Amino acid sequence: MTSYKTKEVKLKSGKVLRIPVDSKGHVPESEIIKHFNNQREGVKNGRKRRCNTKDYDKFAEKTLPLKGLTPREIAKWWNCPADGIDIEYVDTPAKPQINTDKVHMTAARKKSQEKIKIIGTPAEETKVRTILNTTYSEKDLERFASGNPLIIVRPLPSSCNGRHFRNSARIDLERNGGNTAGVLAHEGSHYMREFDKTRNDPILKANQKACIEESCTVAEEMARSPDPSDNGYYDKVPVWDKDEQKWRKPTISEARQMAKEDRDLFTYGRNKPLKGNEALESVRKNWPKSHISRLKYKSSTMAISDMAKINPSITPLSIPKEARDIKPQRSTQNKNKRSNKQSTLFTTKPGTKRSTTKKKSTSLGAMIQKRADKMSGKGSRSKKKT
Which range of residues in 73-81, 177-185, 208-216, 371-379 is near Zn ion by CB under 5 A?
A: 208-216
Which range of residues in 83-91, 151-159, 216-224, 367-375 is near Zn ion by CB under 5 A?
A: 216-224
Which range of residues in 19-27, 39-47, 174-182, 377-385 is near Zn ion by CB under 5 A?
A: 377-385
Q: Give the binding-site size for Zn ion (rule: CB under 5 A).
A: 4
382 forms part of the interface with Zn ion (CB under 5 A): yes
Q: Are 261 and 338 in contact (CB under 8 A)?
A: no
Amino acid at 113: Q
Bridge partners (DSSP) listed for residue 88: 92
Q: How far is the CB of 377 from Zn ion (least distance, A)?
A: 18
175 forms part of the interface with Zn ion (CB under 5 A): no
Which range of residues in 21-29, 212-220, 330-338, 367-375 is near Zn ion by CB under 5 A?
A: 212-220
Which range of residues in 53-61, 127-135, 168-176, 374-382 is near Zn ion by CB under 5 A?
A: 374-382
383 forms part of the interface with Zn ion (CB under 5 A): yes
224 forms part of the interface with Zn ion (CB under 5 A): no
53 versus 382: smaller Cβ distance to Zn ion? 382
CA distance linking residue 339 with residue 330, whole number of Å:
14
Q: How far is the CB of 284 from Zn ion (least distance, A)?
A: 18
* 372 Cβ contact partners less than 8 Å away, ≥ 6 residues apart: none
92 versus 225: smaller Cβ distance to Zn ion? 225
163 forms part of the interface with Zn ion (CB under 5 A): no
Radius of gyration (Cα) for the chain, nearest Å?
23
Q: Are 4 and 21 in contact (CB under 8 A)?
A: yes
CA distance linking residue 375 with residue 59, whole number of Å:
11
Alpha-carbon dihedral angle through residues 227, 142, 369, 377, given to the nearest 10 degrees:
-50
Task: Locate all alpha helices (DSSP H) within the chain, ordered by sequence.
Answer: 29-37, 52-57, 71-79, 107-113, 122-135, 138-145, 181-195, 210-224, 252-266, 276-286, 303-310, 321-324
Q: How far is the CB of 163 from Zn ion (least distance, A)?
A: 8
Q: How far is the CB of 218 from Zn ion (least distance, A)?
A: 7
199 forms part of the interface with Zn ion (CB under 5 A): no
- Report CA torsion sign: 136, 137, 142, 143: negative
Binding site for Zn ion (CB under 5 A): 214, 217, 382-383
